[in-house]
Amino acid sequence: MNEFIITATRTMKSYAAKVAGYLAKFSSFAPFAGTINGIDLLSTDLFADGEKEVVIDSSIRGKDVFIFASCARNEAGLGVDEAKIELYHAVDALKRAQAERIVVFEPFMSCSRSDRTARRSSVGLWVHLKTLSSLGARHFVSYQLHSDKSKSMIDPARCVIDDIPALTLLKRRLCDVYIRDIGTLHKEVRPNWAFCSVDAGGEKLARRFSNSFGVSLVIAHKQRDYTRKNTVECVNILSAEPVEGKVLWIVDDMIDTGASIETLVRALWPFKPAEINLMAVHPVFSNPAPERLQRLYDQGYIKHVIVTDTICCSEIPHTFALEIVPSAELSARAIHTIAVNGSMAKLLREFNAETYLTSPSLLNQPGREPPGLSSV
């Protein structure tokens, strides 16, 4: 295993520090406890004309570097363009400082939805990945890319991508907080819950939740107005079982402006579900999403909103029941696996609620090393 360092651009320093903290607690990393944390390795010099330069404060020659960055809403308050440019500068600086391997870890790859190739439009994800790989990045890690085809955009001979399913974090949250024991799963959840897709394209994701918990599936088919962005004309509901009296969980990979969510929730309400809840991996929450979610909550249409911390939510104004599931320990497990050239199988396997409730993973217990971690 090569010696490595965890660092970050200004956008994710606090998140990277949490990841480094988990890694330092893993017994297999005891020899590297003093070198894992390089959160302050990078500094950014700003010039009067708006240009910038990223500087490395100590030697990294021959070391692997895992750099965390967010080009979405972030703790430093940087806009999308500025955050990307700083990341590009950082990777260039790391390469010039002779890092052995540069791994870019973006928990949410903000340009992942720009993945459609058309004759007269740019493809944002391709531009982003191509730029980073050209500068010297050799490995990308992200959570829940918008589509599977995104992983085919880079030649694996030059650079590789690991897309880790953060859906598992949401499923564990449901088990830990809302189900808690195997009896509740059998007697309450399976007869009374249903998972609902936001649209037909999200059926696969919703079906994975349905299969994990052994409950009903509801599919929403939305008709978009493609002459305007982020607009929905109507929604049709498809379900093999009556929705009335069910606890519905609408699941998606992200919530952006909330237009699709609001339309769907209002379309579901006449079917008389017991309650409607929302779950998404990435809380993009572009305006006016907070206002829409708040309105749905105040009017009694939704009860719970569960997301992960792949995007900073500290500045989001809300009084609705927003629950943020941490992902830093999962990120630490991913870095460990890459560092020792181990198998990602444990992080990619499908979640089964019954198995989990019978024998919960130690991943839920901060500071504890998961079974077999040191030998992954």
> Is residue 369 domain-resident?
no
pLDDT tens digits for range 195-231: 999 887 889 999 999 999 999 999 987 665 555 555 5
56, 201: one domain: no
> Is residue 50 domain-resident?
yes
Q: What is the pLDDT of residue 362?
A: 45
Range of the domain at 200: 167-325
For the entire predicted model, the pTM comes to: 0.89
265, 333: one domain: no
pLDDT tens digits for range 169-199: 999 999 999 999 999 999 999 999 999 998 8
Single out the residue of 100, 97, 158 nearest to residue 132, CA to CA.
158
> Is residue 374 domain-resident?
no
Q: What is the pLDDT of residue 197?
A: 93
Q: What is the pLDDT of residue 225?
A: 58
Single out the residue of 114, 263, 145, 147 nearest to residue 199, CA to CA.
263
CA distances from 304 to 9, 120, 144, 248, 347 (A): 32, 41, 21, 11, 26
26, 126: one domain: yes
For residues 34 and 3, is the Cβ–Cβ distance under 8 A? Answer: no
The b-or-e profile of 89-116 (16+ CB within 10 A means b, else e) is: bbbbbbeebebebbbbbbbbbbbbbbbe
335, 234: one domain: no
Mean pLDDT, residues 236-257 taken together: 91
For residue 207, the Cα-to-chain-centroid distance in whole angstroms is 19
- Split at pLDDT 50, 70, 90, the class of 29 is low
Q: What is the pLDDT of residue 3?
A: 87
Mean pLDDT, residues 144-154 taken together: 82
Instruction: For residues 111 and 282, give the distance between their C-alpha atoms in angstroms, rounded to a whole number.
Output: 13
Q: What is the pLDDT of residue 27?
A: 55
pLDDT tens digits for range 45-97: 999 999 999 999 899 999 999 999 999 999 999 999 999 999 999 999 999 99
> Is residue 154 domain-resident?
yes
How many structural domains is the chain composed of? Answer: 2
Instruction: For residues 250 and 294, give the distance between their C-alpha atoms in angstroms, rounded to a whole number.
Output: 16
120, 208: one domain: no
Tokens of 181: 């024991």
> Is residue 367 domain-resident?
no
64, 212: one domain: no
Instruction: Report the amino acid identity of residue 98.
Output: Q
Mean pLDDT, residues 233-246 taken together: 81
Greater confidence, 361 or 260?
Answer: 260
Reduce the secondary structure of the chain to three states and give it as a string: CCCEEEEECCCCHHHHHHHHHHHHHCHHHHHHCCCCECCCCEEEEECCCCCEEEEECCCCCCCEEEEECCCCCCCCCCCHHHHHHHHHHHHHHHHHCCCCEEEEEECCCCCCCCCCCECCECCHHHHHHHHHHHHCCCEEEEECCCCHHHHHCCCCCCCEEEEECCHHHHHHHHHHHHHCCHHHHHHHHHHHEEEEECCHHHHHHHHHHHHHHCCEEEEEEEEECCCCCCCEEEEEEEECCCCCCCEEEEEEEEECCCHHHHHHHHHHHHHCCCEEEEEEEEECCCCCHHHHHHHHHHCCCCCCEEEECCCCCCCCCCCCCEEEECCHHHHHHHHHHHHCCCCCHHHHCCCCHHHHHHCCCHHHCCCCCCCCHHHC
The residue written with tokens 């790859």 in the block is 109
Greater confidence, 234 or 332?
Answer: 332
212, 155: one domain: no
> Is residue 16 domain-resident?
yes
Assign residue 190 the CATH number of its domain: 3.40.50.2020
157, 174: one domain: no
Contacts of 324 (CB under 8 A, 6+ apart): 283, 307, 308, 309, 313
Q: What is the pLDDT of residue 138?
A: 96
- Comparing 150-164, 207-221, 304-318, which segment has the lowest mean pLDDT? 150-164
28, 158: one domain: yes
Asked whether the predicted pLDDT for residue 121 surpasses 70, the reply is: yes
> Is residue 189 domain-resident?
yes
